[in-house]
Structure 1
C-alpha cells in the first residue's frame, strides 16, 4: 500500500507579501537606526555613483559645474535622509538651498528627487496643511531651472513635478490612514479584552460569593444541629443509653447530609475537570419538613402555621428555606436552654409570601453573634431577600416578650 502524501496548497502571493512586510516592519521597530542607516547609505551610494560615473551629464542643463560642487550637491541631497522620519520638516528645509543650487547651476542631479521621500514622511507624520509649504519648497527650484535655462515648457516641468509630489503625498496619506485604522482596531480589541476580563472577574466574584453564602448556610446550620445533638447525647448517656444512641445516629445522618451538600458546592470550583453539571435541585419548601425534623432532633421544639397555598418559584422557595434555616440556626446557637420556636408562613397571590420566625430565647441581640461581623448570617439573608425586592427584619420581640423575631416578606412577583 503506497504511503499517502499530503499536498499543501501553494501559499497565495498576497499572504506571502503581507507576512514579509510584517517582518520588515517588526525589524524596523526593533532597530530603527540600523534601518535608517541602510536606507540612507543606499541612496548616498546611488548619488555618488551618479557623480563618479558621469551619469549626471545625461540630464544636466549645464556641463560647466565644478566637481567639488557636484560632490557637495550629491551629499547634500542624500545624507540628510538619515533624519527623514524624526525631523522631516527640518530636513526638507535643509535640503532646499542645495536643491536651489542644483537648479541654478544646471547640474540637474537626479538626487533632487529624494525630496519626494520627505513629502511622503510629511504626509505620514505631520499635519496635512504642512504639505502646502512643502510643495512650494519643492516646486520653487523647478521654476528657477525653467527661468534660468529655459529647457522645456513651464507646464510640462511643473506638471510632471506636481504629479510626482501628489503621488508621494497620496501614498503617505494612504499608509497613515491604514495605520490609524489598524491602531484603532487594536485599541478596540484591547478594550474589549479588558472589558471581557472584567466581566469574567465580576462573574467569578459573584459566583464565589454565592458559593460562600451557600456554604455558610449549610455548614452553619448542620454544625449547630450536630452541636445540639452532641450536648443532648452527653446528658442522656448516663441515664438513657438508647437516647444517646439515637443522638449519635442523628449526628451521623446530619453529618452525611452536610458532607454531600458541601461536595456538591465544591464541584463548582473544579475548573480543571470537565464533567457533567450537577443537576441536584436546590432546597425548596418541600424540604422544610426534613429541616425542621433535624432541628427538633437537636432539642429545639418548633411549631409551624401555614396560611394559603404556596405558588413560589424555585428561587423564592430557596430564599424562604435559607432564611428559615439561618433563623433556626441562630436560635440553636444563642437561644439558650428551654427555648422554643414558631414559624408562620402566609402565602398570598402572585407568589407573595410573608414568613415570621419567633423564638423564646434570650432576645438580647446575641442572635446576630459573629454573623454580622463575618459578612454572612443576617447580611446574607438580606442579600437573598433583596434579589426579589423583599424586606427582612430581625430583632428582639416587642412588648416585653422574651425572644427574637425574624420577619421576611417577598412582594408580588411582577408579570413577565
Structure 2
C-alpha cells in the first residue's frame, strides 16, 4: 500500500486525469438520463472544459481557474442549471488555493462566494422557488466552495512550512559541515605546532650530542665520526619529515620555547588531575611497556585527555572511567571506557573532540573507533603503529 501511494504521489497528472474521467462519465450519464435543460452546446462545452480543468488543476492552476470562470459565465448566459459536472468547480478552487500564486488563490476565494450568489439569483424566479429555497441553495453551493478553498490554502501553508524546514535543515547541515571543516583545520594547525615542538626538541638534543661527540673526536676518532654521521643523518631525516607532514609554519607572533610535550610518562599526572576534578579513573597496562616515539606518545596523551574530558562533560554523575594501554609488537592499543550515560548523553552536535582525535590517529596511519557501548557507557579505542623500537620502560 505504501508503495502504491508513493507511486501515485509521483504521478499527479495521472491521478487528476483519472478523477476527470470519472467525473466525465457520471456527468454524461446524468445528461443522457435526465436530459439536462439548457443549451446543448453550452452543456457539452461546460462538461469538456470542466473535466479538462480537473485533469490540469495542478499542472496549470491559473489557466484552470480562468477556464472555470468562463464556464460559469457560459452556464449563466445559456441557462444551464447546476449539475454533477459543477462538482469540478470546488476542486479547481482547491487547486488554485493550493498550487496557484497568491493572487489566484484570492480570486478563487472571491469566486467561491460569487458563483453561488450568481446561481441563486439566476434561478430564483423558477417555478416553486421561494426565498427560503434560494437561501438554502446558496448555502449548499457556498459550503463546498469555501471548504475546498480552506483545504487548499492549508495545503499551501503546510507545503511552505515543510519547505522552510527542509531549507533550514539544509542550512544547518551546511553550517555543521563548515564548522567541522574549521575545527579540523584548527586541530591540524594545533597538531602541527605540537609536532613541530617535538621534532624541534629532538633536533636540539641531537645538536647537543653532536657537539659533545665533536669534543671526544680526539680520544676515539672513528667512533665519534660514526656517531656524528648518524646524528646528522637522523637530524636531516627528522627535519624533512617535519616539513613533509606538517607544511605549516608557526605564526610570526608565536615565540614559545621548544619544550618536550607530554607523553605516556605524564599519564599518571593527568589521571591524578582528573581524579581531583571528581572523576574516578583507573589505569591498566598490558604487555611490555616500551619507549614510544614522541609523536605517538603525545597522541596517546592527547587522546586520553580528550576522552576523559568528554566523560566528565557527558558521562553524568557517579561515572567511573578506565584507561587501558596494551603494548603489542608493532603497535599500541589504547582504550578509554566509562560507565556513563552513553547513547543517552546530551551533546552539542559538534564533535570537535572526536575530530581532533581522528586527525591525530590518521596522521600516524592508525585507526580510531568511538561510540556508545551496547551495555551502556562510551568507548574510545585507538590503535597507533610503533615505528621506533626501544627498550622496556617503567610506566
TM-score w.r.t. structure 1 length? 0.50
Residue 361 of structure 2 is matched in structure 1 by 270
Size of the alignment, in residue pairs? 250
Distance 1:41 1:102 in 2: 25
In the alignment, structure 1 segments of 5+ residues that lack a partner are 1-15, 29-34, 279-416
Q: Is the 8 A contact 2:361 2:382 kept in 1?
A: no
Residue 74 of structure 1 is matched in structure 2 by 47
Distance 1:87 1:138 in 2: 21
Bigger mean CA deviation after superposition, 155-164 or 129-138: 129-138
Query: What per-residue deviation string (whole Å, max 9, x for no partner) do you get for residues 34-65 of structure 1?
Result: x31442354145324532x34565494x3x65
Query: What per-residue deviation string (whole Å, max 9, x for no partner) do you get for residues 96-127 of structure 1?
Result: 23233334433533111201122112221332
CA pair 149-76 structure 1, distance change in 2 beyond 3 A: farther
Residue 119 of structure 2 is matched in structure 1 by 142
SS of the aligned residue for 1:85 comes to coil
- In the alignment, structure 1 residue 114 sits paired with structure 2 residue 88: yes
CA pair 100-136 structure 1, distance change in 2 beyond 3 A: same
1:233-382 equivalence runs, <5 A: 233-234=213-214, 236-240=216-220, 244=224, 260-265=293-298, 268=357, 269-270=360-361, 272-274=367-369, 275-276=380-381
Distance 1:87 1:205 in 2: 50
Residue 181 of structure 1 is matched in structure 2 by 161
Distance 2:14 2:6 in 1: 20
Which structure would you say has the larger Rg? 1
Distance 2:113 2:62 in 1: 13
In the alignment, structure 2 segments of 5+ residues that lack a partner are 239-259, 262-291, 301-356, 370-379, 384-395
- Return the offset for 1:170: 1.5
SS of the aligned residue for 1:239 comes to coil
CA pair 86-138 structure 1, distance change in 2 beyond 3 A: farther
- Match for residue 110 of structure 2 among 117, 133, 138: 133
- Match for residue 90 of structure 1 among 57, 63, 68: 63
Residue 219 of structure 1 is matched in structure 2 by 199
Distance 1:110 1:59 in 2: 13
Two-structure CA RMSD over aligned residues (Å): 3.9
Distance 1:166 1:59 in 2: 30
Distance 2:190 2:70 in 1: 76
- Higher RCO by CA contacts (8 Å cutoff, separation 6 or greater): 2
- Return the offset for 1:231: 4.8
- Return the offset for 1:197: 2.0
CA pair 46-113 structure 1, distance change in 2 beyond 3 A: closer
CA pair 204-97 structure 1, distance change in 2 beyond 3 A: closer
Distance 2:219 2:298 in 1: 40
SS of the aligned residue for 2:148 comes to helix
SS of the aligned residue for 1:39 comes to helix
Residue 265 of structure 2 is matched in structure 1 by none
